[in-house]
Structures are given as C-alpha cells and as structure tokens.
Structure 1
Amino acid sequence: MDVKTASLFRNGRSQALRIPREFELPGSSVSIRRLPNGHLEISPLGETGLLAAFKDEPPLPEEHWMEAIQDLPAEPVDP
C-alpha cells in the first residue's frame, strides 16, 4: 500500500486536504464518510460500484425478472 503525507489547511471555515498528485481523483466532487474506527473514506463521485459495473450489460429478458408467486390462503390465528 502506497502511503504519503498530505497537508491540511483552512479554507474559510472549512478544513481542506491537499492531495498529492499521485492520489489525484477525477471530477470536482467526492463523497466522504467517517468509518467506525474514526478514519475517513473519500471516494470520487460518479459511476462507481455495482451500477457502473453493470451499466453496459443488456437487460434481462422479461421471463427472468420474477417468477409468479403462488397466492396462498391466510392461516387462521388463535384469539
């Protein structure tokens, strides 16, 4: 794992992070969240994850979406 030191600075009332060039992210926005261990996870916004992985796949034929579910009668309940 490649580890570098990054600079923190103030930009108005916000704290900013200067990211080294080799870690540069695409686009102009990122998502950020705090993990349970206190670390931050920073991810580029845009097509990522499963949606991006399957975006070029053709849709499934209609018969594969969901099989018919048998409508069973309600079971009696004791008062």
Structure 2
Amino acid sequence: MPQPAAPRPKEARLFRNNRSQAVRIPVEFELPGESVLISRDGDRLILEPIRKKGLLALLDGWEPLDEAFPAIKDLPIAGRNVF
C-alpha cells in the first residue's frame, strides 16, 4: 500500500518562550504525543515523536522477583467442559 503524500514545505513562525526558541507547527505537520526527540543534521533540525513503549518494554525493565510462588492445585472449572 503506498504511503500518503507528505505535505508540501510550509513556512512556520519562530518565537521566544523564556530562554528557548520555539516554532509554531502547522496542523498538517502535527506530531503525536507530548514530547519529541530533537537532533541536528547540518543546518536541519529533526523532530521525532517519542512513542509510548509497549508492554514487553515495560516488563523488560522490571527486576526479577526473588521469592518462589506457592504450588497451586489444578482444579477443574465448575459447570464447564474444558476441551
């Protein structure tokens, strides 16, 4: 499936926000989320959305448990055929 055409370049306004320079991003260039990674490539600035990490990344960051789990009886489910 082909990618949708990227919006044509558009002029945007720069302004000051306290000691930081900011840019007003036009609606057709909006990024998802609340924060971005910014990097420089020559005189270009590159903004990349920071996506929320999935469940596997969350679980990977947890420390392993040091305690053993108790044995659990394998009881049938009452009133249901389990096949």
Gaps of 5+ in 2: 1-5, 57-83
Which residue in the other structure is 2:28 paired with? 22
Letter paired with 1:38: D
- The CA distance in 1 between the partners of 2:51 and 2:23, in whole Å, is 20
Letter paired with 1:6: A
TM-score, length-scaled by structure 2: 0.52
- Normalized per residue, the structure richer in helix is 1
- The CA distance in 1 between the partners of 2:22 and 2:15, in whole Å, is 5
- The CA distance in 1 between the partners of 2:29 and 2:43, in whole Å, is 21
| Aligned ranges 1:6-21 → 2 under 5 Å | 6-21=12-27
Letter paired with 2:31: L
What RMSD over aligned residues (CA atoms) do the two structures have, in Å? 2.0
Aligned pair partner of 1:4 in 10, 16, 21: 10
Which ranges of 4 or more aligned residues in structure 1 deviate by more than 6 Å?
none
Identity across aligned pairs (percent)? 52
- The CA distance in 2 between the partners of 1:46 and 1:14, in whole Å, is 24
SS in 2 for 1:4: coil
| Aligned ranges 1:68-79 → 2 under 5 Å | none
TM-score, length-scaled by structure 1: 0.54
Alpha-carbon shift at residue 46 of structure 1 (Å): 1.1
SS in 2 for 1:26: coil
Letter paired with 1:5: E
- The CA distance in 1 between the partners of 2:33 and 2:51, in whole Å, is 8
Higher Rg = 2
Letter paired with 1:24: E
